[in-house]
Amino acid sequence: MIEAHGLTKRYGDKTAVDGLSFTVRPGVVTGFLGPNGAGKSTTMRLILGLDAPTGGSVTVNGKPYQRHAAPLREAGALLDARSVHPGRSAYHHLLALAQTSGIGRSRVDEVVDAVGLGGATRKRAGGFSLGMGQRLGIAAALLGDPRTVILDEPVNGLDTEGIRWIRSLLRGLAAEGRTVFVSSHLMSEMAMTAQHLIVIGRGRLIADTGMEEFIAAAAPSLVRVRSTDPAALAALLRSRDVVVSGADDGALAVSGLSTDQVGRLAGAAGITLLELTAQQASLEEAFMDLTRDAVEFRAPTTGGAQE
């Protein structure tokens, strides 16, 4: 369980995190979503006490993280895949972290096997690929068998197999009753993994909602319908108090009715339909709509959320 209350962090005159309040509950994967520079990594550092908040507070399992006597049992974190000395072997990196909390070598071997690093752990971490670095960071996060797992952009640099592995790992950890808090700037990735979403932009909370509610609210389904008489069909549907807009090829985009309803209405009015399809607006588009005002860096050519 992670609870943030009015969490604020300013660096000089720049506000990275601005009055964030949210709760991350155990048993589900909570996605932490926001554009680059939204304050996700800063928030995670604040949770772990690496940075001190300018205002507000945050607790992990009921206490500020620094106050726990056995911190690695409370939370394990992947903050930056490169939080490793390149000259030290992966095994010794993990061993040194384990020893701070009296965790034995057998547990180091367990997490190494669990993340699939196997034989690479005796090599210097400096020679690791980004994907191996991520696996090493995840191994470090799992060392203490923590009740709360915090992962910052864990899929970065992973191949397809690795991404699928992360998804099942996260769901498995949540199913064991742990709190799983994972950040990403990719909505599509979150949609496949997370059951709950916390969306921030420019350090402020934009949404704190279940994944299904988010999808339903942010991406209303459209029905695309083409007929021999678009004008008559449009008039018919508009009388039903639904939003109808025309497409270039003479098709209509209808929101607020299902395909079944559109088909029955057209049939009753004797209008011939040529095409009737349900279309889901992409989640990525919905996410961009939501955070459009909160994007910090934008290429000058991008006028809006086209494409």
Least distance (Å) from another protein to the CB of residue 74? 8
Among 21, 36, 66, 277, binds another protein (CB under 8 A): 66
In 3D space, the residue among 145, 117, 89, 169 whose CA is nearest the CA of residue 109 turns out to be 117
Tell me which stretch binds another protein (CB under 8 A): 76-84, 216-224, 263-271, 278-286.
76-84
- Say how far apart CA 23 and CA 3 lie, in whole Å: 5
- Say how far apart CA 151 and CA 136 lie, in whole Å: 12
Among 8, 83, 221, 261, binds another protein (CB under 8 A): 83
Is residue 133 near another protein by the rule CB under 8 A? no
Among 72, 194, 223, 283, binds another protein (CB under 8 A): 72
Tell me which stretch binds another protein (CB under 8 A): 88-96, 216-224, 233-241, 259-267.
88-96
For 219, other C-beta atoms within 10 Å of its C-beta total: 19
Cβ closer to another protein: 99 or 245?
A: 99
Among 6, 62, 113, 245, binds another protein (CB under 8 A): 113
Is residue 100 near another protein by the rule CB under 8 A? yes
If you compute the radius of gyration of the chain from its CA atoms, what whole number of angstroms results?
Answer: 24
Least distance (Å) from another protein to the CB of residue 264? 45
Is residue 159 near another protein by the rule CB under 8 A? no
CB 137 within 8 A of CB 66: no
CB 200 within 8 A of CB 32: yes
CB 44 within 8 A of CB 148: no
Tell me which stretch binds another protein (CB under 8 A): 67-75, 188-196, 238-246, 273-281.
67-75
Among 77, 151, 215, 283, binds another protein (CB under 8 A): 77
Identify residues 161-180 at the interface with another protein (CB under 8 A): 165, 168-169, 172-173, 175-176
Among 14, 106, 300, 306, binds another protein (CB under 8 A): 106
Among 145, 208, 229, 285, binds another protein (CB under 8 A): 145
Site of interaction with another protein (CB under 8 A): 45, 48-52, 65-66, 68-73, 75, 77, 79-80, 82-89, 92-93, 95-104, 106-107, 110-111, 113-116, 118-119, 140, 142-146, 165, 168-169, 172-173, 175-176
